[in-house]
Amino acid sequence: MTETDAPVVKPGDTVEGRYRIIKALDSGGMGTVFLAEHVLIKRRVAMKVLRPELAADADVVERFMNEARAAGTLGHPNIVESTDMGFTREGIPYIVFEYLEGTLLVDEIYRLKGIPARRAFRIAHQIASALHAAHTAGIVHRDLKSENIFLTDKDERPDHVKVLDFGISRFLEAEADSGGRNTTMGTPEFMAPEQITSPDKVDRRTDIYALGVILYEMLAARRPFQNTGDAQAVLHAVVHDLPPELPHTDGPPGLSEMIVEKLLAKDPDKRYQSMRELQTAIEAFFDVSRPSGSMTPLSIPVPDTRHLTGDATTTGHSVSVASKRKSRAGLVFLVLAILALGAGGGLTLVGGKAAKPAPAAGSGELAALQSDADQLASMLDDGLRAAALRAQTIAGTPMLRAGIETDAATLKDMAATEHLFAAQPGEVIEVFALRGKDLVSLVRIPDGARGLVPPATGTVRLDAGDAGAVAVAAAPVTDQNGGVGGVLAIADRVDLAAVRRALATHARGAKLIGLAQPLVLDKSEKPGTPATIAVPSKELKAGTLSLQATLSPATPGPEHDPYGPVSYACWGIGGILVVLY
For residues 319 and 316, what is the distance between their CA atoms, to the nearest angstrom? 5
For residues 537 and 460, what is the distance between their CA atoms, to the nearest angstrom? 12
Please count the other Cβ atoms lying within 10 Å of the Cβ belonging to residue 263: 24
In sequence order, which residues have a C-beta less than 8 Å from that of residue 312 and are 6 or more positions away?
none
For residues 463 and 480, what is the distance between their CA atoms, to the nearest angstrom? 33
Which residue in 379, 399, 412 sits closest to 538, CA to CA? 379
Is the distance from CB of 207 to CB of 169 less than 8 angstroms?
no
Strands 139-140 and 157-163: unpaired
In sequence order, which residues have a C-beta less than 8 Å from that of residue 174 and are 6 or more positions away?
419
Is the distance from CB of 141 to CB of 76 less than 8 angstroms?
no
For residues 381 and 151, what is the distance between their CA atoms, to the nearest angstrom? 28
Q: At what angle do helices 117-136 and 275-288 cross, to 10 degrees?
A: 160
Which residue in 217, 139, 146 sits closest to 171, CA to CA? 139
Please count the other Cβ atoms lying within 10 Å of the Cβ belonging to residue 455: 17
Active site residue 143: yes
DSSP tag of 79: B
Q: Is the peptide bond preceding residue 454 cis, with omega within 30 degrees of 0?
A: no
Q: At what angle do helices 363-395 and 497-504 cross, to 10 degrees?
A: 170
Distance of CA 165 to the CA centre of its chain: 23
Which residue in 443, 451, 448 sits closest to 407, CA to CA? 443
Alpha helices in 457-513 (DSSP H): 497-504
Helix or strand or coil: residue 521? coil
Residue 572, CA distances (Å) to 341, 350, 564 in order: 8, 18, 12
Which residue in 89, 90, 81 sits closest to 43, CA to CA? 81
In sequence order, which residues have a C-beta less than 8 Å from that of residue 306 and are 6 or more positions away?
none
Which own/partner pairs from 69-72 qualify as long-range (CB within 8 Å, at least 24 positions apart)? 69/171, 70/134, 70/139, 70/166, 70/169, 71/95, 71/97, 71/166, 72/396, 72/398
Q: Looking at 5, 26, 143, 382, which residue is catalytic?
A: 143
Helix or strand or coil: residue 309? helix
Alpha helices in 10-160 (DSSP H): 58-73, 105-112, 117-136
For residues 337 and 325, what is the distance between their CA atoms, to the nearest angstrom? 18
Active site residues: 143
